[in-house]
Structure 1
Amino acid sequence: MTIKNIIFDFGGVVMDWDPRYFFKDHFNDDEKMEHFLENIATDEWNAEQDRGRTLAKGTEIQVAKHPEWEKEIRAYYDNWTTMLKSEIPHNVAVLRKLEHSKYHLFGLTNWSAETFPYALENYDFFKIFQDKIVVSGTEKLIKPDPTIWNVLLDRYQIKAEESVFIDDNFNNIKVAEILGFICVHVKEDTDLEKELRDLGVEF
């Protein structure tokens, strides 16, 4: 089957986001920081905001559960832009090479509808997607729920088997493979251009 579409996840693929970029200085104590991120401001809690819960509601829920951490919980989304450190240059370079290729480019991201506009405004490479981006917070769906991939397929009338899906989360990769996508699992040492060339993508 010919590859016609290339679909990028964003966090961990083209954007370097990590709450530690803010909380490392805030705590100045790695052990305390890790306890907070593993037990209070957890990935699971943040994922509910990515699923569409408002930042304000998510914050109040967690403050009610952990009042002794109120200051830190409120600091989480107040300092979210510090956590979005930068683009990931080598992967963004691959995206830019694909901008004028024969492939249709799409984004499929787990991201809060409230914070994603900041990234759109501050990182010009998002324009390459020409608004063909499915954002979990807007759809009230989140990877690895298969339904969010179906939103992308239906909205843009594309086929999974003609599409490469790129993500850093292995659970997402596993579901995408079941749905019929050709997948690239991005790790720290992944040479994305080589991975795509090996699949037959032409630059």
Structure 2
Amino acid sequence: MREPIRHIVFDIGKVLIHYDPNLPYSRIIPDEAERRWFFDNVCTHDWNLEQDRGRGWAEAEAEVIARYPEREEQIRAFRLNWHEMVPYAYEDSVAIMKGLIDAGRDVTMLTNFAADTFRDARRMYPFLDLPRGVTVSGEIGLLKPDVAIYQRHAADFGLDPAASLFIDDVTVNVEGARAAGWQAVQFLGADKLRADLKDLGVEV
């Protein structure tokens, strides 16, 4: 028997706001094959994830510039043009989140995000200040899908894991939440989220 949902926790990137590093880099590195090589070898997903874990940009840039000095300008462009990577919010899923808050639901956020870029995101998207609070990976040195970050969030915000629902677009992050004893659904669009919430007894 599932616990009724009392706490709803949103991921942010690709759930509430769009994220795509190709947006500025299609201008910076116009050739698609070269751009793909750059993201596969230079400013990789794993490299960027370390900033989400708390590594500062100066250290991150220095580490990869040492290996690819000829790419220095393109490497530094990642942070300089980060705002272009998050060009708009998903208004339909933001509306769901706002509706839950307006209905008196306990809503928080849990995100893999560098500390400084999250501050930028908050300035760009004021609705990120509407939930009761947020756990930002770069501020605490823990990353999804590690069980520890879900446990930390639950402890910090007084959540009962069994009565908590996590919403994330990435399968392994959903699985991490379940491993921590939470309920969780994968975000595949606002319509699916509405249906998932309804199935769990949460009206929106």
TM-score, normalization by structure 1 = 0.95
Which structure 1 residue ranges, 4+ long, deviate > 2 Å from structure 2?
A: 187-191
Q: Give the superposed CA RMSD.
A: 1.3
On the 8 A contact 2:145/2:172 being kept in 1, the answer is: yes
Aligned partners of 1:34 and 1:168: how far apart in 2? 22
Matched, 1:26 2:11: no
The 3-state SS of whatever aligns with 2:130 is helix
Matches for 1:184-203 after TM superposition, within 5 Å: 184-187=185-188, 191-203=192-204
Structure 1 counterpart SS, 2:135: strand
Q: Quote the Cα distance in structure 2 between the aligned partners of 1:2 and 1:199.
A: 7
Deviation digits for residues 20-66 of structure 1, max 9, x if unmatched?
A: 01101211111111111122111100000010000111011111121
Number of paired residues? 202
1:81 aligns with 2:115: no
Match of 1:104 in 2: 106
Matched AA of 2:53: R
SS in 2 for 1:107: strand
Deviations 1:154-174 (A, max 9, x none): 111111110110001111111
Alignment of 1:50-129 (within 5 A): 50-129=52-131
Partner Cα distance (2:26, 2:145) in 1: 29
Contact persistence 2:93–2:190 (CA under 8 A): no
Q: Distance in 2 between matches of 1:193 and 1:55?
A: 37
CA distance in 2 between counterparts of 1:94 and 1:122 reads: 19
User: How far apart are residue 188 of structure 1 and its match?
Assistant: 5.2
* 1:46 and 2:36 aligned: no
Other-structure match for 2:155? 154
Structure 1 segments unaligned to the other structure (5+ residues): none
CA pair 154-189 structure 1, distance change in 2 beyond 3 A:
closer
The one-letter amino acid paired with 1:56 is A
Q: Identity rate of aligned residues, in percent? A: 33
Preserved contact between residue 4 and residue 102 of structure 1 (Cα < 8 Å) = no
Query: Secondary structure of 1:115's match?
Result: helix
Secondary structure at 2:87's aligned position in 1? strand
Q: What's 1:165 paired with?
A: 166
- Structure 1 partner of 2:19: 17
User: How has the CA–CA distance of structure 1 residues 188 and 64 changed in structure 2, closer, same or farther, with 3 Å as cutoff?
Assistant: farther
Partner AA of 1:143 in structure 2: K
Q: For the Cα contact (< 8 Å) 1:55–1:114, is it kept in 2?
A: no
Check the 8 A contact 2:151/2:180 in 1, yes or no.
no
